[in-house]
A and B are shown apart, each in its own frame.
Chain A
Amino acid sequence: MHNDNTRLTQEIIRASGVNPSKCMKCGKCSATCPAYDEMEYHPHQFVYMVESGDLEPLMNSKSLYKCLSCFACIDRCPRGVEPAKLVEAVRFAVIRQQGADHMTPDDVPAKLNEDIPQQAIVSAFRKYRK
């Protein structure tokens, strides 16, 4: 189990391209995050929790689906850590598992209205489904 977790942590870090040890824990990423109020774990917490292999709470958290891919934390981090890339790598580690899609085509009709642009649907699928 421990080995599995270490391997998954390494995979997530590699797929994200992020070096979490560059983080100086200033919290600026979380301060600027437009999804802050909706998240249980915030961008800076993703950084240190992935670094310390504390993956399970992140993988089970709804925070994964609250990130808006606004790239604000990527741009505004003074150390170039790019926390959103870790949020995405953890989310992919979850939704790539069999049956773990966060949104399926069957869910879509109920979410539509006359004005919603196609872009919303394809973007949501990119982030919520594998």
Chain B
Amino acid sequence: MIVSYFPGCTLKTKAQDLDMYARKCAEVLGVTLEEIDNWQCCGGVFTTVNNDAVTKLSSVRALDFARSKTQPLVSVCSACHNVLKQTNHAVQTDKAFADKVNLYMGNESPYDGSTQVYHYLEMLRDLVGFDAIKEKVVNPLKGKKIAAYYGCLLLRPSGVMQMDDPENPQIFEDLIRALGAEPVIYAMRNECCGGYVTMESPEFAAKKSKAITDNAASFGADMIVTACPLCKYNLEKNGNSVPVVYFTELLAEALGVKEDTQNA
């Protein structure tokens, strides 16, 4: 299976591990991630006002590229996925916006919102299947108690994202189980780490992040996993001693390609 892949700016810089392990694991699972030509940064957060088309153009271009290949569009970073999916929804539901961006891009066939947008986790669940992953696990993560941190952007706004139940999600936990580890369910797994406010008010972000890592630790977590570089930064910078790891690294470990990747 070949899918269009939108890595995003941070996966090319501070979060290269997130990207490298995603590619390596996809290969093992029989998926080719075909990086989009000339992709541009998604901007990190979706602009909710409906009169700001320009900030959404890079996403529309990525969506349109995937359509031209008739492939689903996959990304790994929670923020990229959120922006791409919300932009796709805007094209589907806001005709004035769709007309404006299509006019601007001057496409022969206007982009119509038809691309299927998947987060890598959804790709694992819906296109590969957790049972198929389980069969490929060579190094089950036995005895590890792992707390999945969803944060905001994978789940909300739930009407648009439609990944999982926004208040009681299970996609991450199902993956953790497929890898042989034990998921830790804790109250704050879908609360905000502080996000970009860490730029101008690190103390405020610290309060938010610390509450999350302390909550995970109080439920016995040995490790926190996340899909988002900014969540990882905030939780690591401000949290307790529980390590914060990208979910793709965990997957690589279970699939037995972590050392490979490091030596390559």
Contact = CB atoms under 8 A, between A and B. Distances in A.
Contacts of B43: 122-123, 126
B196 A84 contact: no
Interface string B18-51: 0000000000000000000000010111111111
Interface in A77-118: 82, 84-85, 88-89, 92, 103, 111, 115-118
Given A71-B152, A118-B9, A126-B45, A66 B192 contact: no
Contact of A120 (B41, B158, B233): B233
Main secondary structure of the interface of B (DSSP, over half): loop
A69 B45 contact: yes
Nearest to A115: B233
Given A72-B192, A74-B156, A121 B199 contact: yes
Contacts of A35: 197, 204
Main secondary structure of the interface of A (DSSP, over half): helix
B13 interface: yes
B41 A71 contact: no
A128 B45 CA distance: 12
B49 A119 contact: no
A31 interface: no
Interface in A35-53: 35, 38
Nearest to A91: B49
Given A117-B13, A117-B230, A126-B43, A16 B48 contact: yes
B22 to A, nearest CB: 16
Contacts of A71: 152-153, 156-157
A126 B156 contact: no
Nearest to B156: A71
Task: Give the size category of A's interface with B.
Answer: 35 or more
Given A71-B156, A119-B77, A120-B196, A15 B51 contact: yes
Contacts of A115: 14, 233, 236-237
A70 interface: yes
Given A71-B157, A75-B156, A119 B229 contact: yes
Contact of A66 (B9, B79, B197, B237): B197
Contact of B9 (A75, A122, A128): A122
A103 B229 CA distance: 22
Contacts of B191: 34, 70, 72
Interface in A1-50: 14-17, 34-35, 38
B202 to A, nearest CB: 9
A68 B197 contact: yes
B52 interface: yes
The residue in A69, A85, A92 that gathers the most chain B C-beta atoms within 10 A of its C-beta is A69
A122 B11 CA distance: 14
B49 A92 contact: yes
B166 A75 contact: yes
A59 interface: no
Given A17-B48, A117-B14, 7 more contacts: A16-B48, A38-B204, A68-B192, A70-B152, A71-B153, A92-B49, A116-B14
18 contacts: A16-B48, A66-B204, A68-B192, A68-B195, A68-B197, A70-B191, A71-B152, A88-B48, A88-B49, A111-B200, A115-B237, A117-B10, A118-B10, A119-B10, A119-B44, A119-B228, A123-B43, A126-B55
Interface of B: 8-10, 13-15, 41, 43-52, 55, 77, 79, 152-153, 155-158, 166, 191-192, 194-201, 204, 208, 228-230, 232-233, 236-237
Nearest first, the 9 A-B pairs at minimum CB distance are: A123-B44, A71-B156, A123-B196, A70-B192, A70-B152, A117-B229, A122-B44, A124-B199, A117-B14
